[in-house]
Structure 1
Amino acid sequence: MRPDHSLPPDYFEGMFKADPDPWRFETSAYEQAKYDRTIAALAGRRYDRALEVGCANGVLTRRVADHAGELVALDVSDSALAAARARCEGLETVSFSRATFPAEAPAGAFDLILLSEVVYYWSDADILLAGRRIDAALAAGGDLLLVHWIGETDYPQTGDEAVAKLADAISAPFQAARSERTDRYRLDLWRRAP
């Protein structure tokens, strides 16, 4: 039975306290290949201001930073954020905040919002709130990049449900700029109308 509530911050803090790399972001060939595809989906585009929700220990953050003038990275786990800060030390364009998105969201507009492996942790109500946050924060012509595992989970959503529900929750006009599906994950890049 799937939970009907978003997974709480202490779930993630417990994971990162027990193991600084619980999903093997640093060492997994699968994760590295997925990150390669995630960066390739940006197609060399340079973003003025990007938001990464759920930065974990900063492995992907470090790579996304090369594509943004400013990158705001959020996570709910203090342990994960400490690792991400250490990994991105010296990258002056990256800032980190402990925040529970979508309940808490940074101010201002972004021309890239990255939701990699996070939306399926959210309840239906939080997905609706995320849609409103994205409507308010994503600049015209900006990109929303989603990457989600599509195998079985015990999270509130499957990867496919998460993407479909978020699409329904966003009211701003978007077009699908890229869609990829492997046997393990899906990648969706949506571009807001200019």
Structure 2
Amino acid sequence: MTITPDFEDVYRNDPDPWDVATSWYERRRTQLILAMLRQERYGLVWDAACGTGHLARELMGRAQRLVCTDIAGRACALTAAQVQQADACSTVCVVERSGLPQAPSALGGRVPDLVVLSEVLYYLDADERAATWEMLDRLCGPCTDIVAVHWAPRPEGSHLSGAAVQRELNAFLGQRGWWRLVTHTDMEFVAVLWSQDAPQSIGR
């Protein structure tokens, strides 16, 4: 039986439980996510599991409007503090306590241009994952980019490995007409960018 961590307690006990601010793995992962993005700047971005807020802080420079959500209220508070330190003064950021498979009310019914799923999907059980895939397919438009990045092994308290959850999402999105446009795979983590828009070139 898998017991998913109580993330409220996790962040209460340690505001940076995975050493996001200092570990080379985390900093490298963040920079690779940013490098994978097809657009220099997106209109509406949803960071669907903002955690400590370090990635959200970097996304501020790539978005006109950023919606950050997390199931843990403490994580939302940490993210709010991080984005206040960002240099992107023109970017509007909203932080909302919300967990997958729900889409946040802060999106206001609008179609996001980018959805970021970082280190979260393997903590969802099978029913929650299936509901998340369907929600994403309904929510996103033909030009939306989805980026998912996960530690390749299976973390403690998760339902499956990062490699397995990425394969599951690959299979679902492929059946719904999404294209894998950017893929990064190494021993540490797996990162993929999907879109229904398949251009002849990327980043021009």
Structure-2-length-normalised TM-score = 0.86
SS at the partner of 1:140? coil
Aligned to 2:154: 152
5+ residue gaps, structure 2: 199-204
Aligned to 1:182: 186
SS at the partner of 1:141? coil
5+ residue gaps, structure 1: none
8 Å contact kept, 2:153–2:163: no
Structure-1-length-normalised TM-score = 0.90
Of 111-120 and 88-97, deviating more is 88-97
8 Å contact kept, 1:59–1:87: yes
- Is residue 167 from structure 1 mapped to residue 162 from structure 2 by the alignment? no
Distance 1:151 1:157 in 2: 8
Aligned to 2:96: 97
Distance 2:113 2:38 in 1: 14
Higher relative contact order (CA 8 A, sep 6+): 1
Structure having the higher strand fraction is: 1
Aligned to 1:67: 62
**1:5-37 residue CA offsets vs partner (Å, 9 max, x unmatched):** 8x36xx111110000000111111111011111
Match of 2:195 among 187, 191, 194: 191
Distance 2:10 2:165 in 1: 22
8 Å contact kept, 1:13–1:77: yes
SS at the partner of 1:54? coil
Distance 2:138 2:103 in 1: 13
Aligned to 1:29: 24
Percent identity at matched positions? 25
Give the number of equivalent residue pairs.
Answer: 189
Q: Once superposed, what is the RMSD of the aligned Cα atoms?
A: 1.9
Deviation at 1:104, TM superposition (A): 4.8
Of 145-154 and 48-57, deviating more is 145-154
Distance 1:167 1:43, change over 3 A: closer
Counterpart code for 2:32:
R
**1:49-68 residue CA offsets vs partner (Å, 9 max, x unmatched):** 11111101110001011111
Dislocated runs of 4+, deviation >6 Å: none
